[in-house]
Chain A
Amino acid sequence: MAGLTWDIWSAFIVAGLIVLASIVYILATKKDNDNIIVEGEEEDSENENKEGS
């Protein structure tokens, strides 16, 4: 990998930072779960979380 110059290398560093920033964003907004409540559907909300995961 020694042949790569810093201007190419830094793209991989930025890629890593994007992933890191995504994780930080998840942690920082962990308590922010103010989903819209649809009247009559409250009881379904927990089931919806499971789908697709």
Chain B
Amino acid sequence: MSHEWIFWSVIGAYLAFLAIAGIRAKGKTHNYEDFMVAGRKIGPLLLGLSFGVTYFSAVMIVGGGEFSYIWGLASVWIGVLNCLVGVFIAFIFFGKRTMRMSEITRSLTASELLGKRYQSETLRKWTALITILFETVYLVSIYMGLSVMLTYAMPSVDPNLSYTIAVILCGVITIIYLNVGGAHGAIATDVVESIIMLSGVASIFIAGLVAVGGIDGLVTTLQAIGQESYNNPDALTRVLPGISPVGFISYILVTSFGVWGMPQMITRYFTTKKKKSLRWGLLISVSWALLVSIFSWWNGAIGRAYYYQYKFAQGFIPGTSFESIVPALMRDVLPLALAALLFAAVTAASLTTGEKVIMVASSSFARDFYQTHYKVDDQKTWRMTQIMNTVVVVVGIILALLKPDAVLALCMFAWSALAATTLVPYVFGLFWKGGTKKAALWTGVIALIIALTWKMGMRGFCSPAQGCKWGDIFPFIPDSFRLLSFKIGSLTVVLKDIHEFIVSQVVAIIIFPIISLLTKKDLDNDYVNDLFSKVMGKKTRIKKAE
């Protein structure tokens, strides 16, 4: 195949569009608040789509295919429950309170919001530090997600060369449009990117479904695979899936609830101050997210049925790399133009999540460390944020290209670490006046330590290339302990299969109120009562920022 020029053209045209959009957005960016949160003036369409594209990255399009290859049709529940918990419930319960609290406290970062809610500079700096570290690592994993797609889109080009060029191009263009247009530039491009994402995953879903003989052909084929591979015809067509049902439930819990504590999701609510935007943004976000996730979460199952029917004649070899299922399906069932569209969708998904991750990491340094430490004005902080945008992207590019083992291992953990540290202090902070600064700080610290320890000791903290050797890290933990199991209904849960995020959050939910009650003498009741009355007030008035 020598059609690589089409894919390069798609990347080129798409990145040129982003650069132009960033430059156009410059006209709307007059101050630091404009740069960081688009002046809190975003309408419902942009808010809804921005929330959706930030939530769902290329990890879902490519990685989702990998999981639905394993779990079959039940995977549709992952997408639906992600939308229910991660979008619908999040918007309704956290949207208004977060939006108003951020405006009242004039917060521009999630760390700043937490710091001001609990009146703790230490908490603010601690959360900012974790954000900088793990968002940068998360960026690396987002860039690395492009590599599998490139291998299939451009088979005659050296994969290392195409990956290097694509990562550098994406990074450089992101620096340009983020530094010039800021949040306005990032959010303005989200509409086009959301359309491309939806079109791309829908095209492979439809083409794949037609190729396997429609829904009936898909179900019949998956039943045949289930019978042949697992001696269970329902293994790939029923809930719960026949393979690793505990892993399936665990995955739903982590991806649905974990997103509540992600700084890049929390700051989406900062970009508006109108309840009307939140209400309609909810409908737009939920509708878009449901479509994209349902399509994405079946593509792997469709791919499995397709390659079974065709006896793997077209080159996809199961058992070696399930993450290749969607790129392989793209190559084999889509016409070139639609394959290019899907390729653009993956690139778009990477960049939309990546740009918010970059802004969150860089602003955490500029706003929460540089500005608070040196007491500089917003103009200098703005400049520092732009510098840090560049630094974060350059570090991300270097790590994504060098792929050091330690970073690869951290990539698997970055998402859990961020959510574990932030989620409970954030949610309790919105609803409970009794939460104290010590509870927020120590809950975050302990949750992170527990998540890290559980990951290393029970589940394996290692680079995918080297294989997981958890026994080498904590040799004093006997395997018999890791393999302890208990029953929930008909499900057998093995200790080592429980995700570290779940363990950390169970502990966090218990210790946060306990520490708060033990340290309640630290609570500044007047401040908290005043803040909550403003957040929930009918006619709250605040002074204009200087």
Contacts and interface: CB of A to CB of B under 8 A. Distances in A.
Interface of A: 1-5, 7-8, 11-12, 14-15, 18-19, 21-23, 25-26, 29, 32-41, 48-53
Contacts of A12: 76, 80, 294
A26 B537 CA distance: 20
19 contacts: A5-B238, A7-B238, A8-B238, A14-B80, A14-B84, A15-B80, A15-B83, A25-B279, A26-B282, A29-B279, A34-B275, A35-B274, A39-B542, A39-B544, A48-B41, A48-B274, A51-B43, A52-B277, A53-B43
A18 B43 contact: no
B41 A8 contact: no
B541 interface: yes
A32 B539 contact: no
B253 to A, nearest CB: 16
A18 B276 CA distance: 19
Given A3-B216, A7-B238, A33 B276 contact: yes
A33 B88 contact: no
A7 B282 CA distance: 26
A25 B92 CA distance: 9
Most buried by B among A18, A19, A39: A18
A11 B41 contact: no
Interface stretch (B44-52, B150-158, B493-501): B44-52
Contact of A26 (B88, B104, B283): B283
Given A23-B283, A37-B540, A37-B541, 16 more contacts: A7-B238, A8-B76, A15-B80, A18-B286, A18-B290, A19-B287, A19-B290, A25-B279, A34-B540, A36-B104, A36-B540, A36-B541, A38-B103, A48-B41, A51-B43, A53-B44
Contacts of A11: 76-77, 80, 294
A39 to B, nearest CB: 5
B237 A22 contact: no
Contacts of A34: 275, 537-540
A22 B237 CA distance: 29
Contacts of A15: 80, 83, 290, 294
A51 B43 CA distance: 6
Contact of B543 (A8, A19, A39, A52): A39
Given A3-B215, A34-B538, A36-B542, A52 B42 contact: yes
